[in-house]
Amino acid sequence: MPTVMIMQRMSVAMEYGVILKWLKKEGDAVKKGDPVVEIFGEKNEFELEAPDDGILLKTLCDVNDEIPISEPIAIIGKKGDEIPDIKPRKINEAAAPAAPAKTPTAQAVPEVKRAAATSKAPAPVLEGGRLRASPRARKTAAEAGIDLSQVTGTGPEGRIIEKDVLTIQSMAPQVAIDDDRKVRGIETMSPLRRTIARRMTQSAQNPHITMITEIDMTEVVTLREEINDQVQKKHGIRISFNDVIVKAVADTLEKFPKFNATLAGNDLHMFDTINIGVAMATDEGLIVVTVREANKKSITEIALATKELGRRAKANELTAEEMTGSTFTVSNLGPFNVDLFIPVINPPETAILALGQIKKKPVVVDDSIAIRSTMMASCAVDHRILDGAPAGQFLQSLKDTLENPFMMKM
């Protein structure tokens, strides 16, 4: 009895995987646990293992195919086993015209079993083969000429909603036009870049509002100098301004639970654990690493954690756990001499903080002009959940903490 090997969910936020390389070829013998294929999922590379002993009878995907979670990718069985006539849905072919998908029945493929996924997404199909989709999704798909059988549903019980159709529509190839401009080169987006593109498209579907303030960082500059005198001797590292800010953000989030949450349908899930995502630039693109339980860590412990995560990011050694599970993201472009920018929320989070460079400038203090170290900060929030007033209150509380930082745990 052949086994269908499926695309497995390797992290909580992973929705699809990109086939990078087949480690076994058709006809090769495999044992349960043998690496069969390399995939890219949610900004990291993984190896999927054989779910059973046998022969790799057939591979169902090509390199660079984007396969949703729980879709079949290969058949493993014994020599002479009948290979079932199944094909995976491919996200990168979603815009192409396709025949309506056939819904397999237990009678049609009695000899096939599927390898268990880490978390299987329910198929959006009702009895009789009718797709589970909202009326607005059907109308939008009809107008755009999109085959609903090629759309992955993100609504309740896998239901296809309008946002899913709009996401597919935004990924459709652009119509070529006559152009006499000389093309210098063509570069295919890497799997990481494609993941970023899809996540940012998803984020842009939701309404953002952004609050901006200026923070006096003079006391933080002094605090950092004092801490580094001790930390460098003991641990051989230097604490960055971002380490201090991450600690201040984590402490502030304890007072604002709706900023440390995610929206699931009509329910706002507020997390007890505060995991700060720290945006880091790599050669291939932006990644977000996770400092877990940052509110329970000292500034020094946060610095040690971020330095190690940064080292592992450069060496491409990050695990799925280190790149997922964040509940709020901090993005700092100060090291690139950026003064201010408007961030895009990292879904499924509800807010993100963006920071500019710290620089000296003349400011009015007690009716006198003084030279102070200042920094611009902007906080974008999901307007479905949060309004301007709580966003302003969050920034004000963070500002108070950073302007009086000596009460934080060192």
pLDDT on residue 201:
74
269 is catalytic: no
CA separation for the pair 325, 50 (Å, rounded): 27
The pLDDT, as a whole number, for residue 368 is 94
- Domain of residue 63 covers 3-98+110-114
Whether 13 maps to a domain, the answer reads yes
Give the domain CATH number at 383: 3.30.559.10
Q: What is the CATH number of the domain that holds 153?
A: 4.10.320.10
Bridge partner residues of 113 (DSSP): 3
Output phi, psi for 247, to 5 deg.
-65, -45
Give which of 348, 197, 200, 376 is closest to 275, Cα–Cα: 348
Do 131 and 245 lie in one domain? The reply is: no
Strands 267-270 and 45-49: unpaired
pTM beyond cutoff 0.95 = no
Q: Which of 28, 339, 387, 400 is catalytic?
A: 387
235 is catalytic: no
Q: Answer whether residue 186 is part of any domain.
A: no
pLDDT of residue 118: 43
pLDDT at 99: 44
Q: Are residues 199 and 263 in the same domain?
A: no
Query: Does 336 lie in the same domain as 246?
Result: yes
Alpha carbon distance 275, 328 (integer Å): 7
Angstrom distance (rounded) from CA 144 to CA 319: 39
Does residue 179 form part of some domain?
A: no
In a domain, 227, yes or no: yes
- The answer as to whether 183 is a domain residue is no
Domain at 31, CATH number = 2.40.50.100
Asked whether residue 268 falls in the same domain as residue 324, the answer is yes
Domain count, the chain: 3
List all residues 6 or more positions away from 98 whose beta carbon is below 8 Å from its beta carbon. 147, 149, 150
pLDDT tens per residue across all 410 residues of the chain: 789 999 988 766 677 888 888 999 999 999 999 999 988 876 667 889 999 899 999 999 998 888 888 899 999 999 888 888 888 888 766 444 444 444 444 333 444 555 544 443 444 555 445 677 887 888 888 777 787 777 777 777 777 888 888 877 766 555 555 567 888 888 877 776 777 777 777 777 788 899 999 999 999 999 999 999 889 888 999 999 999 999 999 999 999 999 999 988 889 999 999 999 998 887 767 788 999 999 999 999 999 999 999 998 888 788 878 888 899 999 999 999 999 999 999 888 999 999 999 999 999 988 999 999 999 999 999 999 999 999 999 999 999 999 999 888 77
The per-residue pLDDT for range 276-306, each reduced to its tens digit, is 999 888 776 778 899 999 999 999 999 999 9
Q: In what order do the strands lie in the sheet with 35-40?
A: 45-49, 35-40, 16-22, 66-68
| Judgement on whether residues 40 and 87 belong to the same structural domain of the protein | yes
Q: Do 214 and 142 have their domain in common?
A: no
Token duo for residue 16: 């699809």
3-state secondary structure 219-246: HHHHHHHHHHHHHHHHHCCCCCHHHHHH
User: CB of 35 within 8 A of CB of 83?
Assistant: no
